[in-house]
Structure 1
Amino acid sequence: MSGFDFTDKVMLVTGGAGGIGSALCRRFASGGARCIVVDIDGVRAMKVAADLPGAGHTGIGCDLMDRAQVERLFESVADDHGRLDVLVNNVGMTSAERFDVRSVESIEREITLNLTSPLVATRIAIPLLMASRDARVVTTVSLGGIFPLGETPIYTASKFGLRGAMLAIGLDLRSKGILAGSVLPSATDTRMLRQEAVDGGNSLQFQDRPQQPADVVAAVVSLLDKPRLEAYPRPGESRLVRFAMLMPNLLPRVLPLFRKRGDRGMARYLEELRRRGLARRTEGHWELVEEA
């Protein structure tokens, strides 16, 4: 049994129509929470909300990079509920484009979505969180917030920044009655990871088989059960990357040793996606097959 009582809690999840976000919403709703599913795709957000168990759920379309839309989002939460018990900052993106060829605009967009938007959302939500008897903020960061991913430096930059910011926010808000913590997953089997795999993204994250959204959900629930600054779905991986960062100057020598294993792991993952009907190889190139 969970130590955290979800009953009648008002819980908002950004990126709520994605693989991790929708799994979080299903878990929260199954415990009796009222979920606010927020996604840039409003139609998908409403569908996820409509399919959740229980009642009182809402799906809302919102571009989290547009501050006016974010303000309207929380005004709506205030009108409907008068408080917010749990904010889950889960939205994120990545790109397989290499740093030396990608556009400056794409760099700015990724930093804004991954780093700035969770901070802005958290700040705007403060009055609603203060109205809760047991306010929580949970943020999905990444092990990429500890360990540099050479092929995706902008994702790395955004997650390094987000991890540090949320550690500081957790320390700051604790005395004000808001408990904030982060989960740091490794590669997770979601559409974002599948897209990165077919685009030939960072193979180092495929050292092991990708975890499932349910693993991230379990880490979030553990963070709610036992509030702390960070939780790791795969503690063993977290210890390895934290140890590696004690000697960052050795990374140029160490990483090539893991690259071949990662390449093999990504090839296995792509074949698994093909068997599941989620990817296909056409004229020597992989592409996603959109789910119905």
Structure 2
Amino acid sequence: MTTTVTGRVALITGGAGGIGRAVCRGFIARGIQCVLADYNQASLDAAVAELGPAATGVQIDLRDFGKLPDLLALVQERFGRLDILVNNAAITGTGHFEERSVENILGELNINLLSPIVLTRLAFPSLQRSGDGRVINTVSLGGIFPLPETGIYSATKFGLRGAMLCLGMDAERHGVKVGNVMPSATETPMLMREAIEGGNTLQFMDPPQQPEDVARQVMRMLDDPCLERYPRVSESWTVRLAMLVPNMLPKLIPLFRKKGVRGHARYLESLRRRGLVRVRDGQWELP
């Protein structure tokens, strides 16, 4: 049954995760109906229960591009419109590049890069009809600054940033405002898993920010749209300056790694104190 609404409607991929849920809370506070698209049904159920009647959960595997038109059709059938698309879902693999399976690599490419581009293309007609359509992408500082052992993740974020910057610069023609939010390490279940599985320690040089820090920049995108926003502006200057001399990166990275190792140890201990991870038989694990 179609329920036409007068307020705005947003579709948020990865909506049941830490950043996605924080973004939904901000949207709902502004009277925006939220459709949360996520793979994990249990997390979706918990998110919808927390967020209330303004949230609708849809279980979907974003790697299955054939399901994306069905997702958008569901939004149209339920609400009769789509005003905001937030491409937020992402994964990151751990382990050495040469040890990862091709299937694993393709899965990361599909979720982080191809799915948001395809979904944006499919959503464009609805966003154009909105009259004030928005596409907001949770990219990453990893879309500017490459870190060792994150080659596939960096490839997806470099690519997504580039594609969406191009769309954003062409907004006068197509009428949809497109922008990127560029967070550094953010405390989400994905980051916690990276921390206990030996992910790149360089991202722990500073304490991770909170999902609400990222969500605030998404809200600013609604109020004052632009091509990019950064939760931590100082970090954006650091990485952009470093990229002016890419040939120096092999010499700079070891200087940062020691700080990252210390920060990683502090972060694991912080998670342990808060009961978010535990040690069993000498191994870190999620409860």
Note the residue ranges of structure 2 that are not aligned, 5 or more in a row. 1-5
Question: What is the aligned partner in structure 2 of residue 4 from structure 1?
Answer: none
CA distance in 1, matches of 2:74, 2:139: 26
Question: What is the aligned partner in structure 2 of residue 18 from structure 1?
Answer: 17
Partner-residue secondary structure (3-state), 1:196: helix
Deviates more, 1:31-40 or 1:137-146: 31-40
Question: What is the aligned partner in structure 1 of residue 3 from structure 2?
Answer: none
CA distance in 2, matches of 1:43, 1:100: 33
Question: What is the aligned partner in structure 2 of residue 166 from structure 1?
Answer: 164
Q: 8 Å contact 2:28–2:54 — kept in the other structure?
A: no
Q: TM-score, length-normalised on structure 2?
A: 0.95
CA-to-aligned-CA distance 1:94-131 (integer Å, 9 cap, x gap):
01111121111111110111000000110111111112
Deviates more, 1:280-289 or 1:164-173: 280-289
C-alpha displacement at 1:39, in angstroms? 0.5
Question: What is the aligned partner in structure 2 of residue 49 from structure 1?
Answer: 48
CA distance in 2, matches of 1:188, 1:274: 17
Q: 8 Å contact 2:181–2:230 — kept in the other structure?
A: yes
Partner-residue secondary structure (3-state), 1:138: strand
CA distance in 2, matches of 1:100, 1:66: 26
C-alpha displacement at 1:65, in angstroms? 1.2
Q: Does 1:236 align with 2:230?
A: no
Matched AA of 2:138: T
C-alpha displacement at 1:11, in angstroms? 0.8
CA distance in 1, matches of 2:178, 2:92: 24
CA-to-aligned-CA distance 1:235-257 (integer Å, 9 cap, x gap):
00010000000000000011100
Q: Which of 194, 197, 216 is the matching residue for 1:196?
A: 194
Q: 8 Å contact 1:82–1:128 — kept in the other structure?
A: no
Q: TM-score, length-normalised on structure 1?
A: 0.93
Q: Which of 118, 121, 130 is the matching residue for 2:119?
A: 121
Q: 8 Å contact 1:38–1:61 — kept in the other structure?
A: yes
Q: Does 1:208 align with 2:206?
A: yes
Matched AA of 2:30: G
1:253-272 alignment runs, 5 A limit: 253-272=251-270
Q: Does 1:134 align with 2:123?
A: no
CA distance in 1, matches of 2:45, 2:117: 24
Partner-residue secondary structure (3-state), 2:51: coil
Note the residue ranges of structure 1 that are not aligned, 5 or more in a row. 1-6
Question: What is the aligned partner in structure 1 of residue 67 from structure 2?
Answer: 69
CA-to-aligned-CA distance 1:200-223 (integer Å, 9 cap, x gap):
110111110000001000111111
C-alpha displacement at 1:51, in angstroms? 2.6
Question: What is the aligned partner in structure 1 of residue 38 from structure 2?
Answer: 39
Q: 8 Å contact 1:186–1:205 — kept in the other structure?
A: yes
CA distance in 1, matches of 2:276, 2:50: 23
CA distance in 1, matches of 2:208, 2:71: 33
Q: 8 Å contact 1:10–1:84 — kept in the other structure?
A: yes
C-alpha displacement at 1:80, in angstroms? 1.8
Question: What is the aligned partner in structure 1 of residue 243 from structure 2?
Answer: 245
Q: 8 Å contact 1:36–1:49 — kept in the other structure?
A: no
Partner-residue secondary structure (3-state), 2:117: helix
Partner-residue secondary structure (3-state), 1:37: strand
Partner-residue secondary structure (3-state), 2:180: strand
Matched AA of 2:25: R
C-alpha displacement at 1:43, in angstroms? 4.1
Matched AA of 1:51: E
Q: Does 1:83 align with 2:81?
A: yes
CA distance in 2, matches of 1:79, 1:101: 44
